[in-house]
Chains A and B, each alone.
Chain A
Amino acid sequence: MSATLSRQFGRPVVTMTLFLVVSFLIVPVLLTFVGSFAGEWSGVLPSDFVTLRNWREVLGLTETVGSQRSMGWDSILSLGGYTLAVPSELIFSVGLALGGVLINLLVGVPIAYAVARYNFRGKEWVNAISVLPLVPGVILGVAFLRAYPTLSGTSFGLIVGYSLLKAPFMVMAVRSEFESMPLQRLEESARSLGASWPRTFLTVIVPNAKSGIISGAIICWTLAAAEFNFSYIVWAKGTQPLALFLQRHISNSSFTKAAAAVSMFFCIIVAITVLLQQVGSRGFDTRG
């Protein structure tokens, strides 16, 4: 490439690539959201605005039939004549994902600390195993069906599967937080003041890594709530996880209604992203 070419066009071309790719990623998201309020979408752009029908149908506020079936509602709280009801698919996934996050916290925080703080033989292997997904969801699903035939389709099976699939993200988030802390100094100070090692870990180290742990938990939660591949293979009956609910709408429903279902999911992700930024984390950053 000649000198002038690179000087003249290098930066515009690179910047243009960024704009085009960001548009490619985001324009369909915006269109979907806008389209979810449309009554009709068969021309270039959706039309017949503004209707909340799609959203009402998807959320189960309007009666629907057959494969277009919407969310059911569970009442979780009855208080003085008022009943607090929640969409069952949504709350089911929220619960499953929370269970997965809980396991992730228990397994992810300690191993992240081991890798960040200590030098030991086989450290690179432990590191690689803890941050690389072992197998994709489909294959773990097949393995679960085979190894735990009765357990795999239950909520517990889903939770355990999610926790293994999403553990790397927890380890990464927490590890990068640990790596930014003066671990050895912290540990030695606490120890010299008389705290035992377990107590140092639980009451000094872990609270100091709070923001990394919270952001790891949020990331894992988001990814587990949206987990499709594993759920698709092992899920048998009962309330569907959210991702299967989305797939049912994408495959069977009208375009605008599928748009509403997907938009509902976007809203959750956006809320989570805002939450992540509030925590002040480095979010999906991979290295400390």
Chain B
Amino acid sequence: MGTPSGHPDGTFSGVRARIKAGVTIVESIVDPLTERDRERRRVVALCAPFAALLAIAGAYPLWEVFRISVSAEQYRSVGFSLQAYRTLTTDPYYRRVAFNSLWLAGGTTLASVGLAVPITHALEKYDLPGEDVFVTLVSFPISLPGIVAAFMILVLFGNNGVLTNLVAVLTGRESIELAIAVSAPGLFVAFCYSMIPRATLILRGTYAEIDHAAEEAAQSLGATPWQTFRHVTLPQIRPGIIGALILTFRTGLAIFGTLIVIQTVVVWTLQISRELATGYDIQVAGAMATVYFFFTFAFTALGLRYTSAEVGL
């Protein structure tokens, strides 16, 4: 990590801050005089294992990927060439892939967070019987990988799917015509299957911190439930919602397993694996990985910097 590596990202600033702090306390680490120095030494010691893993498993591999993406040769990191990036920016195919990624992740993020708000509201505000069970059930899909989420969608909407066949029986049409699992809408639903539980999880943390007294006051002053939500609850959960939007969008962009099962829309992650599978074009794959990395870093950093978003996941 000693190199001023190509990750002007979260890692970089954090590491730089840590290195900078480290330089100023080198003497005090060796021979701490004050309690403050000792405390610094402890913080450095506590962060060191994580920093080591981040450097070995994260920063160095990503640096190598960046190097090969700007290399003049295809399989060795030498010289400098922006050929791979030129391909990405000029070839309309990649523009379409990027566009697919953005609308799919963006649309499913809005849908998932939009559904997560009423779900969390019901779980946290209403005294529903068996509330714990609901919480467990909503959280369950978090542990399911994307391939399993895709299979769940096949079970519901596939050629053989339950809902597909149900509609087919009711309307008398062919189930093949009705199956939507392997289509863009099916993929959209499959993304939501993975993202709704995560969005709900994040929002539950926000709801737990709401000031109930203000809501009760609004109610007793005659506000309707909707007015109370709109003017009292919503302003309080807004940072949580923005945080949930940012993190769910990150999740949506990262989805890959689902696409291996339902290969109808080519998005960025799927295209990266295809670059390797067909012809092993590590340069373009590397450039795509680099672009992805900078993009997610930029919008996360901007999102956290210029909004009051809270991040927990």
Please tell me if the beta carbons of B53 and A128 are within 8 angstroms of each other in the complex: no
A251 within 8 A of B: yes
B184 within 8 A of A: no
Q: How large is the interface on A (under 10, 10 to 19, 20 to 34, 35 or more residues)?
A: 35 or more
Please tell me if the beta carbons of B58 and A283 are within 8 angstroms of each other in the complex: no
**Nearest A residue to B146, CB-CB:** A228
B224 within 8 A of A: yes
How many angstroms between the C-alpha atoms of A227 and B254 in the bound complex? Answer: 13
Within the complex, which residue of A32, A35, A284 is in contact with B139, where a contact is CB–CB below 8 Å?
Answer: A284
Residues of A within 8 A of B269 (CB): 136, 138-139, 229
Within the complex, which residue of A32, A139, A160 is in contact with B152, where a contact is CB–CB below 8 Å?
Answer: A32
> How near does chain B come to A205, taking the closest CB pair, in angstroms?
11
Please tell me if the beta carbons of A42 and B225 are within 8 angstroms of each other in the complex: no
Within the complex, which residue of B40, B141, B144, B289 is in contact with A142, where a contact is CB–CB below 8 Å?
Answer: B289
Known: A222-B143, A255-B160. A132 touches B311 (CB 8 A): yes
How many angstroms between the C-alpha atoms of A107 and B49 in the bound complex? Answer: 5
B134 within 8 A of A: yes
How many angstroms between the C-alpha atoms of A32 and B4 in the bound complex? Answer: 51
Please tell me if the beta carbons of A45 and B162 are within 8 angstroms of each other in the complex: yes
Please tell me if the beta carbons of B147 and A228 are within 8 angstroms of each other in the complex: yes
B300 within 8 A of A: yes
Please tell me if the beta carbons of B193 and A107 are within 8 angstroms of each other in the complex: no
Within the complex, which residue of A120, A136, A171, A259 is in contact with B43, where a contact is CB–CB below 8 Å?
Answer: A120
**Nearest A residue to B206, CB-CB:** A287
Q: How large is the interface on B (under 10, 10 to 19, 20 to 34, 35 or more residues)?
A: 35 or more
Known: A15-B126, A120-B21, A146-B282. A130 touches B115 (CB 8 A): no
Per DSSP, chain B at the interface is: helix
Most A-side CB within 10 Å, residue of B18, B136, B312: B312
Within the complex, which residue of A1, A11, A41, A246 is in contact with B145, where a contact is CB–CB below 8 Å?
Answer: A246
Please tell me if the beta carbons of B53 and A163 are within 8 angstroms of each other in the complex: yes
B57 within 8 A of A: yes
Binding site for B on A (CB under 8 A): 1, 3, 5-7, 10-11, 13-15, 17-18, 21-22, 24-29, 31-32, 35, 41-45, 103, 106-108, 110-111, 113-114, 118, 120-122, 125-126, 128-140, 142-148, 160-161, 163-164, 167-168, 171-172, 197, 222-223, 226-229, 232-233, 243, 246-247, 250-251, 255, 258-259, 262, 265, 269, 272-273, 283-287
Binding site for A on B (CB under 8 A): 10-11, 13-14, 17-18, 21, 38-40, 42-43, 45-50, 52-54, 56-58, 60-65, 68, 115, 118-119, 121-123, 126, 128, 134, 136-148, 150-156, 160, 162, 165-166, 169, 193, 196-197, 201-202, 204-205, 208-209, 224-227, 250, 253-254, 256-257, 260-261, 269, 272-273, 276, 282, 285-286, 289, 292-293, 296, 300, 304, 310-313
